[in-house]
Every structure is written in C-alpha cells, then in structure tokens.
Structure 1
Amino acid sequence: MRTKTGQASVHVRLNGARLWRWQRELVARLAAHPAVDLSMSFADGPPPPRAFMLLTTLERFAFRLHGEHACDHLDRTAFEGPWIGDGHGARLTLDLSGSPLGDDPGDVVRVLYDGAVDDDALLVALLDGRSCEMTAIDARSGRVLGSAQPAIEDPAVMTRGLDCAYTALLRLCLRVVTGPDAGDEAVLAAVATPPAIGLGAVTRFGLRTLAGKLDHRLKLLCGQAPRWFVAWRHLDAGNGDVTLPGVEAYRFLPDDGLRYYADPFLFSAREGTFLFVEEYVEATRKGIISAASFEPDTGFTTPKPVLETAVHLSYPLVFAHDGQVWMIPETLQAQSIELYRAERLPDVWVHEATLLNGVDGSDATVFHDGGLWWMFAATRDWRGSNWDTLSVFYAEQLLGPWQPHAANPVVIDSRCARPAGHVFQHGGALWRPAQDCSDGYGAGLAICRIEQLDREAMRQSVHSIIRLRTEGVLRGPHTLNRLGGIEVIDLLGPRS
C-alpha cells in the first residue's frame, strides 16, 4: 500500500472509547516510519465490555502481571502528538474504529475478526480458548490485503493471550500499510456478529483456567509432566512424498529420565551417519547439542554432548557447503543467529561467524536456491509470539551480509509459520515442514509448498497437516527430517 516515491499519507482512525496500548505502539511506529506521513483521529464507539475489563483487572493480581500489556486500556491523552488531525486528503485510511465508513475518497483498510468488524469477536474467541483469524481488507472492494492467525501461548490468561493476538495484529497492520502490496483476489464481506460478552462467559473462562492450572501443578508434583522424545524409522525405497505412518512404525531414542531429546537433524559423511539433537538436561534447565551415530544392526547410539555455550541451544541445523560442514543452532537467548564449523565430525565445532545480531529469531533454517542463500526464522516482536511469525532473510554468500525481506513478516499464522526442519525439493518444487501451533506448541506439522520466493515476495500453500496421536503421544510431530533412507521426528508424551 506504500507509494513508490515520497511519503504515503496515512490516516489512522480509532474508537475513542476503546483505546488499547497496542494501538499506541502502532501509531508510534507509523509516526517514526520514513515513508509515512501520519495523521490520526478518534471516532465515537462503545467502550470495552465491563466483564472483560473486570477479568483483566483480576488477572493482574492473580498472576502478578507487572508492566505494560497490549490490552492496557488508555485514554486519549496517551495518543497526543503532532499527528492528530482529520486526515482530510489522506491516500490511505486504516480504520480500526469499527464505526460506519465515511465518504473518504482514498483507500480504506479495515480489519475483520473472524469475519466481524467489531473486535469483540477477538475477545470472544479467547474466552472460548481459541485463536481468532484477523483479516485486513480493502473496505470498498472487500479484497483481502493480508491475514494473521495468532498463536495463543497461554490460553488460560486473557491478558497474555491478547499480548500475542494484538502483537500479531500490530505486525499485520504495519505490513499492510508500509510493505509491498501482497493482496490476493479473495473477497470477504463482514457478515459475522460476535455474541455479547457477559459475566457468564468470563466466569466459565475463570473456572477453566483454575482447573487447567491445578491439573498442570499436580502433574509437576507427581513427576508426570510430559516431555519430548525423538523417534526414527527406515523409509521404504522410493518414498519421496511426505506421508507419515502411525506411531507404531517408529523406534524411540531412549533416555535416562534425567534429560530429553528433541529437534532431530541428520547428516551423513564419510565418517558415518549422525543424528544431532537438542539435549535438555533437567538438572541445569538448559539445552545443549548432542550427537548419536547410526549403527546398521542396532540403530542410533546414545547421544553425547558436542556443543555447549552459555545460552540454551536447540534446533541443530547441520548442512554441507564449500567442502565444510556447518551448524546453525538456535541461540534465541543471545538474540543472534550463529554459524559453527565442524573441525571434526561429530564432536568438535568452532564458532565461525554471527550471521544476524539483535534478532529475536528461532529455528533458523538456511538453504540455497536461485543464486541466493535464504534463511527462514520464527521471529518475535514486542509482546508477541514466535509460534506464529515467519521472517525471511537472504544473502549472496553464506557468511553474509544478510538482508531482511521487504515483506517481513511473510507469514503470521500459528498453523504454518515456525520452521520444523530442512527445506527440501520434491516434484520440481521447494517444500518446507512448519510447526502447527494452532492447538499449542508443537501440536503437529504443516507441509508447505513454496509457491514464490524472490526478493519481492514469499508465498506458500499448505499441502497437508500431520498429527500423530496415541495413548502415549500428546503432541507432534514437531520436527521432520529425512536423509539416506532414515526419517526422524519428535513427539511429546507423558513421562514413563
């Protein structure tokens, strides 16, 4: 929606009786954007439901929610600034007021919440324990400009759920207003009407929260909290498609109960075939990278530590390039993406370079295509989640410099954003496994076909959703990798 030259005149219209902190963050970012000439105004509208305000007030005391949150209710003075104005002549109006449209001559963007203009639909969805699809549309034509399906990391606490949801909405609005036009041909109409939010819905939410937290506490006290397991199987000859059998087809990598293994990756060289995993040690509450070797007669050996740093490590992406073997482990706590080189496989690694710094990125996945190196990473912004947001970076050389994609974040969808293994080729196309976090972290996999990947756009389509469930498996798969006739996944199950 941004003009090609000069600044775009953007007007933001808000409901003056329902002002949230996330909207103040939006205004601040737009005002600071070099390509935006901002103005904003207030429209008349209903205040937030009283029952909702009571709930968030009680949560602050019950869960010790200190500091600022996206759903903090603000007054108009928090929005004072040189941008206050009627927006007359603005090229684009971002209307978040929910009020009837005026006769604006320019483009008008509105957000629908599960198909409704009223953002009460978002509050209702969270009270029901589910996410809400938020869609930005051209209000005149109904053309879809972008969408977001936020992850709800803590569905038992409304305030935390809204931190995730409103941050996803913040990123959606910024992308639509300041990024390249990525709208599609779909047309939506606002036809849904959210039910009223009353004390009954809030009470039911509170009781469900209490029951869930008590159940979780009891499992922790009894040593029954679930943990991750790595599983593997031999692939049938010629099995190039991504279809997974039942859990019974897999062999589990055993552990001693003092640690768990997750994020499995495979690598083969003349030294042998190796399985690299995150090893989470219960005593230290920190992840390290460990590796196991493959023995044809017995399977994988017990993993041994090969890389440990001062921060938690996971997702050991291992690959070969230019005669060397490289690893990019997740180093989220350091807010950087680091590259290591193998001096000896599988157990001697040296730090080679910092690829990106100051990036809150998880599960960085690199590959080479079309003459460029590409990096997919789950990114977190403000008070949001990295379960639902995918950003892309590119470089001409592995060591960089790496550049952010113009359309970042390219995906805001808890069902198919976060990387879950190597990008691979199949049937002449690029494919990527992604985490399905729509029903909690690592609930399953989305197998996505990359339809377009260049400096202007990244588009994907979801081919299938894979979830494996038995009496002993609660979530997963969470990661998927294949190499040399072996497939590895990880699953979440109760402690034995």
Structure 2
Amino acid sequence: MRPARGSPDTRSGVRWGMRLTLNIDASPLRRWHLLLIERLETISGLDLSISLPETDLPDQSGLGPLFRVEGLLHNLRSDGLFARASRAEVTVATDRPMDESDLVLDLGDGRASVPGRRWTLHVDGDAGEGALVAALLAGRMPLVELKEGGALIAAGRPGTEYGRILLATLDDVLSRVVTLIVSAVSGGRLRVPTLPPTEAEQAAAVPQAGIAQTVVKAGFSKAIELVYRSCFHAPHWRVGWRRLDGPDLFALKRHPDSGWTDLPDDGTRFYADPFPILHEGKLTLFVEDFVHATGKGIISAVEFGPDGPLGAPEPVFEQPGHLSYPFVFARDGEVWMIPESCSAGRVDLFRATAFPGGWVKEATLIEGVTASDATLVERDGLWWLFATVRDGGGSFSDALHLWSAPDFRGPWTAHPRNPVLIDIASARPAGQMVIRDGELLRPVQDCRQGYGKALGIARVTRLDGEGFAQEVETIIEAGGPLWPGRRLHSLNSAGGFEFIDGSAMVRRNPLARRKPAAVLASS
C-alpha cells in the first residue's frame, strides 16, 4: 500500500508524490542534466519534471576550441557530460508550471523568478555553470553546495584524477554533482569538514586564464608530459620509513625532524602503499610492487630488523589483475589481507596459509562496486569498512562509502546514507585507523591538487547507522628536506616503525636492471 500524498517515504526521504521540477534557464541542456534525470527517476514516489527555455540557448562557455585540442592530445571523446543534449532525449514532463511544484531545483544562475520552495546549486558561492568552469580553469577543486535561501541543504568537494585536462575534469566533477543532488533529494544531508588550504592550493588560487591562453597551455603541458615520460618512469612512487623513537605523525601532525629513509628499489619497479604487521615477533612490511615493464602491481613483502629492512621486498601475492593497498591485519590467530582490486568490481578477503605468502581467498565481502583502498576498523563491537566508490563515473577518490558487519568476514550492510561524504580532500583512506584517547583517527588522502598530493589526519566525530562526520586536524604535505618530492600518500606503523610513501623521479635507463637507477625525490 502506498503512503498518502505528502507523507514521508522512509526509503527515499521524499514525500510520496512530491513534485520536483528541474529549472534550467541560463545554459543549454547538457548531458549531465539527462544523467541527473535518469538518477532521480529511480527515487520512489518522486514526480519529476524539467523546465527548459523556450528556445535552445547558444553555448557561451567558449570551451569548444579547448575541448577539441584536449580531445586530440589525450584521445578523449568530446561528448561527455558537459556536451549539449537534445530536447528529444528528455524523458520527463516539460510542460508543468513551476508554481505547481512542491520544490524547484534551480540549476541556472539563480536569477529566475521561481515561486515556492527553491534549492539553488552554488559553486564556490556563485550560481551557474560559469562559476564551475571558472573554478576549474583556475586550478581549484570547488565547493559545491545546495541551498534553500540561506540554509545549507548539502555540500561536497568533487574531485578528479585529471586536474590538467578540463574535458575529463568536468566529466568527473559533474558526475559527482549528480551524486550530491540525488543524495540530497533522497534525504541525505552531506557536509564537508573545514580544511586549512595547502600551500599548493594557495598557489593555484589565481585569476581564471583566458580560453586562448588555456588552449596554448594545454598543448605546452602535453609536450612537457611527453618529454617527461620519454625520459622518466611516470609515475614512480617510493616508500619512506623511520624508527619510532618518539611521537608518531598522529601526534606530531608534521614531518619528524629526523626525516625518512627510503626503501630502495632498482629503478625498474616502484614500491608504494606500505602496510606493516607484527606477527610471531617479526615485523613484515607489505607493499604494492609495480613493475614498469608489465604495468601491473603485485604484492611483495620484506622483513624488518632493528635497523631496517633485511633485504629487498619479494613477491608474495599475484593475481591476473592489478593489486595494491595490501590492508593486512591479524585476527583469530590468522593473518588476513584485503588488497585493492577495484578493476574486479568487488572487495575480497584473503588469508595467509604460509605467511608472508600462501594467500587464499576466504570471502567476497562486497560485490558490484568499484571500491578503492578498503580499510577496516572495529569500533564498539561492530566492524566498519571504509572505501571510496566510483558509481559509474566521477573520481575514484572523492565519495566515501561505509559498510558495517558483526564480523570482519561479513555479512556486510551498506550504510543507508552512502555516500556519507563527498570530499576530494578527505574521503579516500590512506592507511590504518588508530584510536587515541578514545577517539578514532583516520589518515586520509588530500587530492585537491592531484592524486596522492598530501596526507590529512581526520578525527571521526560520528560513526553510526544514521550518519558519519569527521574533522580534519592537519594536512601534511610533501616537499622540503624532510620529505622531498611532490606527493605524500599513506601512513602506517607497527613494531616500532612508521611508514609513508610518496613520489620520485627515476630516469629510464637500460642499465637499471643491472644496477640501481638514479633516483631524484623531486617528482
């Protein structure tokens, strides 16, 4: 039996039969509008329509030349979410007057006269798609908000892995804008933590460049990239370690004065995602081991003694697909691992039968998701799984999803508010969570200026079946003498050692297979 009109529908957060109109008055109909309609139509009880200008508006963004150049340079199609769409593709009513709607979702510039309740979409405080384009051209990952008058309905910081390519960046950001809107209409009230700006972000906060200048810059950047990739392995990560003779990074909230020691590689491969575990009195470090010649990651491990690694990492786990982020933990007298294998569309649990190798699959914890960096924590008798999820589009790093279970083997239940956070600066996990003075701290990746650019430490202030919240306490950046380079990506510790990782420049060298290549920590 359907609830009466106007009564709450607990499945969707909307009133049954609620009339929602999308108002598009200041831009052409675009493909992201069609995606939004498609997603909104899945919400039970929602009566959806769209209000369009009487005639098709010209595209005044001026981005056509840039998109053509980027498409040629990066082999990208130009029919992404920012591309124009045809009115014939609209699948909902277009003739309902806005004054007959219960709520108008205004996707224009906010100047239209709209009767009744209205939500407006703001980008860095301004309404309209021009504000979004301006932010991205200036190199910023913008704050996106839905507001009703002056009241905040929902907020998020969408992101991208393609910060220098506007055509791809717009696709990622618009895809996550759709996620945010659908969450809000369904009853979610997403928020983002306040963040101190990084030095890189402050440097990027410059006035918007002209389109012609941006086109020239795109060509120049691609030329630099081609030269770089012909001379250096890209990317090339490196692991840093140190003995814990004092406070760790959770307490210091900055790099230690002693700096870090690199885990050496031979230049033909890189090591990343360091996860240590103390097992049977021995400290073993697991890493992603990426061989440049194959373009594929496996999991390798090396034992640590009192003075550091006892040799080089050796392969212990390989599958047909790429593996990384070897989240290892001990429980019930066994050692378990949840490696990232997002290309497989699931999260799998493995058990070591001949530690540090002999990994056998025990269970599939979650299926049908593109989940990155799955991280477990046990809290108040309940297990929680954190991961960022790409729901068919958008960044791999900005939408945090949660699952809970009575046991780490499952069964796992998705959080009803997923995604619980949209934030390119603090959503993606960056290592094991820790409990300090009864509070849960989680390392997070700050990808505002690119994937793995900085490390944040967030304090979880709410974690339950109804919601999630966190506060970012500090952001630790790469660069400088204590951790040279341009990236800082993860944080873990065990057995009296602490580990991070970041980037390096390694020259392509045919002799690198016989002797270590020159490594410069300035990538």
TM-score between both structures, scaled by the size of structure 1: 0.90
More divergent stretch after superposition (286-295 vs 84-93): 84-93
Q: Distance in 2 between matches of 1:280 and 1:261?
A: 6
1:201 and 2:213 correspond: no
User: What is the match of residue 364 of structure 1?
Assistant: 374
- The one-character-per-residue Cα deviations of 1:437-457 (angstroms, maximum 9, x if unpaired) are 111111011110101011110
User: CA shift at 1:182, angstroms?
Assistant: 4.9
Which residue type is aligned with residue 74 of structure 1?
A
Which residue type is aligned with residue 501 of structure 2?
D
1:478 and 2:489 correspond: yes
Question: Secondary structure, in 3 states, of the residue corresponding to 2:429?
Answer: coil
User: What is the match of residue 76 of structure 2?
Assistant: 65
- C-alpha contact (below 8 Å) 1:143/1:183 kept by paired residues: no
Which residue type is aligned with residue 178 of structure 2?
L
Distance change in 2, residues 1:84/1:325 (3 Å): farther
Question: Secondary structure, in 3 states, of the residue corresponding to 1:481?
Answer: strand
- C-alpha contact (below 8 Å) 1:43/1:97 kept by paired residues: no
Q: Distance in 2 between matches of 1:183 and 1:487?
A: 32
User: What is the match of residue 170 of structure 2?
Assistant: 162
- C-alpha contact (below 8 Å) 1:247/1:469 kept by paired residues: no
Alignment equivalent of 1:288, drawn from 298, 309, 318: 298
Q: Distance in 1 between matches of 2:216 and 2:84?
A: 24
Distance change in 2, residues 1:309/1:116 (3 Å): same
Q: Distance in 2 between matches of 1:465 and 1:415?
A: 10
Q: Gaps spanning 5+ residues in structure 1: where?
A: 187-194
Distance change in 2, residues 1:3/1:254 (3 Å): closer
Q: Distance in 2 between matches of 1:33 and 1:304?
A: 50
User: What is the match of residue 37 of structure 2?
Assistant: 27
User: What is the match of residue 102 of structure 2?
Assistant: 91
User: What is the match of residue 341 of structure 2?
Assistant: 331
Distance change in 2, residues 1:422/1:83 (3 Å): farther
User: What is the match of residue 493 of structure 1?
Assistant: 504
Alignment equivalent of 1:251, drawn from 249, 261, 269: 261
More divergent stretch after superposition (363-372 vs 31-40): 31-40
Alignment equivalent of 2:88, drawn from 77, 80, 83: 77
Q: Distance in 1 between matches of 2:138 and 2:422?
A: 21
- C-alpha contact (below 8 Å) 2:382/2:406 kept by paired residues: yes
Alignment equivalent of 1:213, drawn from 214, 219, 222: 222
Q: Distance in 2 between matches of 1:170 and 1:132?
A: 15
User: CA shift at 1:65, angstroms?
Assistant: 2.0
Alignment equivalent of 1:402, drawn from 412, 415, 422: 412
Q: Distance in 2 between matches of 1:11 and 1:65?
A: 33
Q: How do 1:335-346 residues align onto structure 2 when only pairs under 5 Å count?
A: 335-346=345-356
Question: Secondary structure, in 3 states, of the residue corresponding to 1:354?
Answer: strand
Distance change in 2, residues 1:8/1:271 (3 Å): farther
Q: Distance in 2 between matches of 1:255 and 1:185?
A: 37
User: CA shift at 1:260, angstroms?
Assistant: 0.5
Q: Distance in 1 between matches of 2:100 and 2:13?
A: 15
Distance change in 2, residues 1:108/1:54 (3 Å): same
User: CA shift at 1:361, angstroms?
Assistant: 0.5
Q: How do 1:69-468 residues align onto structure 2 when only pairs under 5 Å count?
A: 69-82=80-93, 85-105=96-116, 107-138=117-148, 140=149, 142-182=150-190, 201-223=210-232, 225-237=234-246, 239=248, 241-245=251-255, 249-270=259-280, 272-468=282-478
Q: Distance in 1 between matches of 2:308 and 2:439?
A: 35
User: CA shift at 1:336, angstroms?
Assistant: 0.8
Q: Distance in 1 between matches of 2:327 and 2:95?
A: 49
Query: Percent identity over the alignment?
Result: 34
Question: Secondary structure, in 3 states, of the residue corresponding to 2:127?
Answer: coil
User: CA shift at 1:57, angstroms?
Assistant: 4.0
- C-alpha contact (below 8 Å) 1:216/1:225 kept by paired residues: no
Question: Secondary structure, in 3 states, of the residue corresponding to 1:170?
Answer: helix
Q: Gaps spanning 5+ residues in structure 2: where?
A: 1-7, 195-205, 507-518
User: CA shift at 1:47, angstroms?
Assistant: 4.0
User: CA shift at 1:355, angstroms?
Assistant: 0.7
- C-alpha contact (below 8 Å) 1:364/1:376 kept by paired residues: yes
Count of paired positions: 483
Q: What is the CA RMSD across the aligned residues, in angstroms?
A: 2.6
TM-score between both structures, scaled by the size of structure 2: 0.86
